[in-house]
Amino acid sequence: MRMKQIHVAKHAPEAHLVKGFLESNGIAAVVRGEFLTSGWGELPLDVCGVWIEDERQYDRAQALLVAFLNGDIAREMRSRNWRCPQCGEQQEGQFTACWKCGAPRPA
Ligand SMILES: [Zn+2]
């Protein structure tokens, strides 16, 4: 089996969150790069990678991860954004009327 990097986390807690999520879906994962050993001693890194142990699971792992990382944001966007029934323009949630043609937001 060959390992493959699946995610670059901004910090260790995120990396471990991703690792835990993947493992809960039956994908063995490890966190790497929390510390970089240099000649000057151990330097903590802000960036660390999450690797899956079997690269054959990469596609599935990535699909799961994208859904996981985007889920809350995407759900919120879908509930807030709306489309103008008159001109079809995409609107952001804070608008109560179409910025393009002025049609009111449908109830
Ligand atoms: Zn419109």
- List C-alpha distances in Å: 53 to 3, 14, 35, 97, 100: 4, 18, 20, 51, 50
What is this structure's pTM?
Answer: 0.56
Which of the two residues, 28 and 10, has the higher pLDDT score? 28
Show the tokens assigned to 73: 């944001």
CATH number at residue 56: 3.30.70.2350
Is 101 a domain residue? no
* Ligand 1 centroid, distance to 89 Cα (angstroms): 6
In a domain, 100, yes or no: no
Number of domains forming the structure of the chain? 1
| DSSP 3-state of 18 | helix
Specify the pLDDT at position 38. Answer: 47
Q: How far is CA 49 from CA 3, 40, 43, 63, 72, in A?
A: 12, 22, 16, 17, 22
Whether 34 is in a domain gets the answer yes
Range of the domain at 37: 4-80
Distance 61 CA to ligand 1 centre (A): 40
Give 20-70 pLDDT, tens digit per residue: 999 999 999 999 875 554 445 555 555 688 999 999 999 999 999 988 887
CA–CA gap between residue 87 and residue 9 (Å, rounded): 41
Tell me how far the alpha carbon of residue 12 lies from the centroid of ligand 1, in angstroms. Answer: 45
Dist. CA 59 → ligand 1 center (Å) = 39
Distance CA 75, CA 53 (A): 30
